[in-house]
Amino acid sequence: MDAVLADTNIWCKYFRYGNPLLSQLIENDFLAVHPIVIGELAVGNLKARDQTIYDLQAFPMVKVASNEETHFLLSKHELWGKGIQWNDLLILASVIASPGKLLWTQDRRLAEIAKSFSVSYDPV
């Protein structure tokens, strides 16, 4: 495993309550980000907003899947009507396109789909 991409919901809880596992991933350079996650966090209430966004952008980025690649994934695996949103699918497609990367999310439906592609990170 090269890195874990923490979904927006993981970061939100981290900023509110802390998370020793996420801290450990950060300290050991096992964390990757996606521009959508940074964007979703940026529209929320962040303490030290500018510094936080700057710090997030310093993490390695996963390969960002194109809209075409994401549409292909959607069609080939019939992922419509599964209860995930387009942003979720873009993130998933990016993780799938990034060898050695796993997706850590607390979104149950997204986690199930990620597991079906063997790219789910489940620390439990």
Q: What is the mean pLDDT of residues 58-64?
A: 96
Q: What is the mean pLDDT of residues 57-85?
A: 96
Residue ranges of the domains in the chain? 3-115
Residue 124 has what pLDDT? 76
Q: In what order do the strands lie in the sheet with 3-6?
A: 31-32, 3-6, 101-104
pTM (2 d.p.): 0.92
pLDDT-derived band at 123 (thresholds 50, 70, 90) equals confident
Q: What is the mean pLDDT of residues 17-24?
A: 95
User: Is CATH 3.40.50.1010 what the domain over 3-115 is classified as, yes or no?
Assistant: yes
The answer to whether the beta carbons of residues 45 and 51 sit under 8 Å apart is no
Q: What is the mean pLDDT of residues 62-72?
A: 97
pLDDT-derived band at 120 (thresholds 50, 70, 90) equals very high
Residue 2 has what pLDDT? 78
φ/ψ of 31, rounded to 5, equals -125, 135
Distance in angstroms (rounded) separating the CA atoms of residues 2 and 79: 26
Distance in angstroms (rounded) separating the CA atoms of residues 84 and 2: 25
pLDDT-derived band at 1 (thresholds 50, 70, 90) equals low
Q: Could you identify the residue written with the tokens 């387009």?
A: 86
